[in-house]
Amino acid sequence: MPAKLRVAEIRTRVVLRQRLLDRLYEGTRGPLTLVTASAGAGKTVLASSWVSAGRVPGRVAWISLECGDDQPGVFWTYVLEGLARSGVPLPALRPPARSDTTGRSLLTRLAAWLSDQDEPSVLVLDNVEVLGSSVLDGVDFLLRHASPQLRLVAIGRTAPPLPLHRYRLAGWLTEVQLDELAFTEDEAESMMAEHGARVGPEAVRILVRRTEGWAAGLRMAAMSLQDRDPHESEEIVRRFGGGRQDVAEYFLAEVFDAQPPGVREFLLRTSVADLLPTALADELSGRDDSARLLHDLVQANVFVLPADDGAVRYHSLYRDLLRAQLGRRPAEEVVRLHQTAARWLMADGQTAAAAIHAAAAGEWGHAATLAIDGLAVGGVLAGTDDDLTEALAGIPDEVGGPHGSVLRAALAVVAGDRGGAAPHLAQARRVIAGNPPTRENLAVRMVLAAVEVLSADVDRAAEAAVSFDALAAEAGPPAEDLSALVHARAGASLMWAGELDKAEDTLLAAARSAEVAELGRLRAHVLGHLALLNATQGRLRRAGDHAGAAAEVADEVGLSGVRRPAAIDAALAWIHFNQHDLRTAQRHARARPEPDDPVTAAALAVLRDRVLHSRADRAADRAAPAWLVAAVRPTRDGVVTVPVESWLRRASTELDRGRDDLARRALGHALHLAAPESLRRPIAEAPPRLRRFLSQDQELLHQHHWLGGAFAVVPTMRSDDDSRPAALVEPLTEREHEVLGNMAALLSTDEIAQAMFVSVNTVKTHIRSILRKLSVNRRNDAIRRARELGLLRTAADGAPTPVHEPPDLSR
């Protein structure tokens, strides 16, 4: 008995997860806290850590339950002994005389006694799933009559058959389930560190994705990574899955072998599908009760998880184990299951999934036709369907016809081998040319055109896109992912050619399609190009909006640091260059030394060599489009720059003639034109005499405070008619100001966390608070609002700035 009544002893290294400790603390302020999840999810570890942390609201009685403890007399004997050991005085209560029953009078007296105590009692029942209704009826009675002095924490793989609906309605119930127990990346990183596993953030990200945050899986990974060198660690992370011996043995012992034979057969046959609607489960298993069985498995928390539209899926590691077990069956049996899945999914309109199963069945021609005619290949080209890409990568060379050739070309483009795509494209063109264009071959012709665009050099992609657009018009709206990819590539090509108006329209279309298709990475790249295009043309406010949106999207999809699209930093470098903030411009220009994109690379090369390094590099000029070289010259064809410079020349001329009034009027015109974009560079590069003239005109400087400290702004009192936004009702904290400054510098959440030496979750909490206080919903809106309120200043204002000073994007 002593071992059953002690707080569970945790023998492994424990990561204290404060968010979950807080949940238990808050939950035990009410009568019932229920912690349910699958085996190895960290339920007992969490509860034990919580008790050890000392945040329990009363005396703790812990009972570790086992099979056989569901007899009323046995259970209530444990409860009385556990309460007594915790310090609750129970002088008048004796244990039940029989193991199979307990009188109601005992529970009534126990409830009355607990209710009279000054300090609450916390009863922790671990493995509560072993208890049946004969015991739980009494638990329900005690909980209702001893509240609020009794706090129950029930831990188990399944929810106990208590009247939970009544507890929820009364506000008595706190539930901690599998999704909350899953480790975050920060928590997984802490676990790796506790076990001495030296792995980087990307490896942690992969492990969290593979394990779905499952505590036992992460711990097995951490233990296998102890004291390994970087090469060994990389290989372990790459190969980690449910087929590993330690993971497989755990699943077999704890989950799979505990199921009846019929359920085990069902699990194996249905494991071929990634997503399992009940009708597909019936087809694969040969049963007609799959809906009931799957519902029971989900409720049992045996790694069968609910998915969208009533379907279910198996936990990824458990699915690996099931497929490894199925792989021991005769190959023809597995092939028949994949053929069945392919037929059902094709009839259901799920062509990508159908193609995966056709490939797994060795029906390569059918797989290629499904991928091309169903336009599922768009997910391959966009990099959003890794499963389909992996499934189709093994297509044999002998699979002929236009579908096989186009598919091989698409796979070559995805692999970065544009040259390798050329012979497959040529073969597809020859086959297609031998047949008249029909509605039946329209899809393969359209995909061929799309792949030709993506495989073309930057100077030819726009021309190749004309054919795609013509076929898309004939076919009706194409798949948005294909459209986004083609127009993104074509927009970059038009930028290279100097057709900037067409480029902007094309890139805007690509951004819209990417948003609809939920291609966050592509959208971040496209918005970055839009920012760069506008920045080089002096449209700084529009460039800033695009750059802010690009940075926000990049942060959302995990593109931070060197993985962030280089066009964003290139655009910010140009924005700050035009605002005469050369230090910040240099920082952004150096952030990405060698971008893959030729347009971005040329924009950065020209800016670095001709402006930031004060030299003219003819090699850079020859490699760059003419419009980019012209964009950094003193007189250029920008939307705003030329008129500003014209008025500045006029002001300088009038000043030389001694006509100060006319000089001031011309200077005012120049400042008025430059103000919307905060275009400081032409003013900073004006003749010294004109700059001195401006520095002595306090009225002009006050009107144009955006010029900043570099032009000797003298602060003045705010006038009565100065209509600025109202101040914040709830001011930002010092840390929120720091986060806001880094947000304005367009740092990702990860980068802000690194700069401030805090966790990513802490940064996210600060950002949510900032958005609330500024009454906005998005980061870009928060930056704009902060500038309106004067909460952000740039280096040109003469104010101290953090390491990551915010760019002036919205004035």
- Per DSSP, the residues of 506-543 read HHHHHHHHHHHTT-HHHHHHHHHHHHHHHHHTT-HHHH
Fold classification of 717-811 (topology level) = Arc Repressor Mutant, subunit A (1.10.10)
First to last CA, the chain: 73
CA–CA gap between residue 171 and residue 551 (Å, rounded) = 41
Report pLDDT digits (tens) over 690-737. Answer: 888 888 888 888 888 778 655 543 333 333 334 445 556 577 887 888
Range in 105-109, 494-498, 581-585, 805-809 the model is least confident about: 805-809
User: Are residues 42 and 153 in contact, defined by beta-carbon separation less than 8 angstroms?
Assistant: no
Q: Amino acid letter at 196?
A: G
Count of residues making up the chain: 811
Q: Which residue, among 540, 616, 615, has the nearest Cα to 580 in the 3D structure?
A: 540
CA–CA gap between residue 370 and residue 358 (Å, rounded) = 9
How many C-beta atoms lie closer than 10 Å to residue 709's C-beta?
13
Q: What was the pLDDT predicted at 722? A: 41
Bridge partner residues of 197 (DSSP): 226
Share of the chain above pLDDT 90, in %: 53
| Range ranked top by mean pLDDT from 239-243, 358-362, 600-604 | 358-362
Q: What was the pLDDT predicted at 791? A: 78
Report pLDDT digits (tens) over 256-311. Answer: 999 999 999 999 999 999 999 999 999 999 999 999 999 999 999 999 999 988 89
CA–CA gap between residue 355 and residue 343 (Å, rounded) = 10
> Per-residue b/e over 585-597, b at no fewer than 16 CB within 10 Å?
bbbbbebbeebeb
Q: Average model confidence (pLDDT) for the chain?
A: 86
Residues 6+ apart with CB under 8 A from 434: none
Arithmetic mean of pLDDT, 392-420: 91
Arithmetic mean of pLDDT, 592-596: 72
CATH, domain 475-630, list 3.40.50.261, 3.50.50.60, 1.25.40.10, 3.10.20.70: 1.25.40.10
2 pLDDT higher than 90: no
CA–CA gap between residue 805 and residue 791 (Å, rounded) = 13
Q: What was the pLDDT predicted at 612? A: 56
Q: What stretch of H or E contains 243? A: none
DSSP conformation letters of 136-171 = HHHHHHHHHHHTTTEEEEEEESS--SS-HHHHHHHT
CA–CA gap between residue 183 and residue 393 (Å, rounded) = 33
CA–CA gap between residue 102 and residue 99 (Å, rounded) = 8
Instruction: Quickly state the pLDDT bin for 677 (edges 50, 70, 90).
Output: confident
Q: Which residue, among 502, 585, 495, has the nearest Cα to 540 in the 3D structure?
A: 585
Arithmetic mean of pLDDT, 413-434: 89
Q: What was the pLDDT predicted at 530? A: 97
Range in 38-47, 89-98, 237-246, 741-750 the model is least confident about: 89-98
34 pLDDT higher than 90: yes
478 pLDDT higher than 70: no
Model-level pTM? Answer: 0.76
- Helix, strand or coil, per DSSP, at residue 798: coil
Fold classification of 2-181 (topology level) = Rossmann fold (3.40.50)
Q: Which residue, among 271, 262, 263, has the nearest Cα to 242 in the 3D structure?
A: 271
65 pLDDT higher than 90: yes
CA–CA gap between residue 641 and residue 673 (Å, rounded) = 9
- Domain positions in the chain are 2-181, 185-240, 475-630, 641-711, 717-811
Instruction: Quickly state the pLDDT bin for 637 (edges 50, 70, 90).
Output: very low
Instruction: Quickly state the pLDDT bin for 621 (edges 50, 70, 90).
Output: low
- 276 phi/psi in degrees, rounded to 5: -125, 90
Higher pLDDT residue, 475 or 551?
Answer: 551
Arithmetic mean of pLDDT, 75-101: 83
Arithmetic mean of pLDDT, 336-340: 98
Arithmetic mean of pLDDT, 745-763: 80
Arithmetic mean of pLDDT, 23-36: 95
Q: What was the pLDDT predicted at 294? A: 97
Q: Amino acid letter at 315?
A: H
Q: What was the pLDDT predicted at 728? A: 60
CA–CA gap between residue 121 and residue 57 (Å, rounded) = 8
Q: What is the 3-state secondary structure (H, E, C) of 202-213?
A: HHHHHHHHHHCC
Range in 181-190, 406-415, 640-649, 720-729 the model is least confident about: 720-729
User: Are residues 58 and 123 in contact, defined by beta-carbon separation less than 8 angstroms?
Assistant: no
If phi > 0 it is left, if psi is from -120 to 50 it is alpha, else beta; for residue 196 that is left
Q: Is the peptide bond before 802 cis (omega within 30 degrees of 0)?
A: no
35 pLDDT higher than 60: yes
User: Which two tokens mark 424?
Assistant: 């497959």
Instruction: Quickly state the pLDDT bin for 798 (edges 50, 70, 90).
Output: very low
Distance of CA 522 to the CA centre of its chain: 14
User: Which two tokens mark 644?
Assistant: 């500003």
Report pLDDT digits (tens) over 646-669. Answer: 788 888 888 888 888 888 888 888
198 pLDDT higher than 60: yes
Arithmetic mean of pLDDT, 787-794: 69
Q: What was the pLDDT predicted at 632? A: 60
Q: What was the pLDDT predicted at 611? A: 59
CA–CA gap between residue 608 and residue 612 (Å, rounded) = 5
CA–CA gap between residue 4 and residue 384 (Å, rounded) = 50
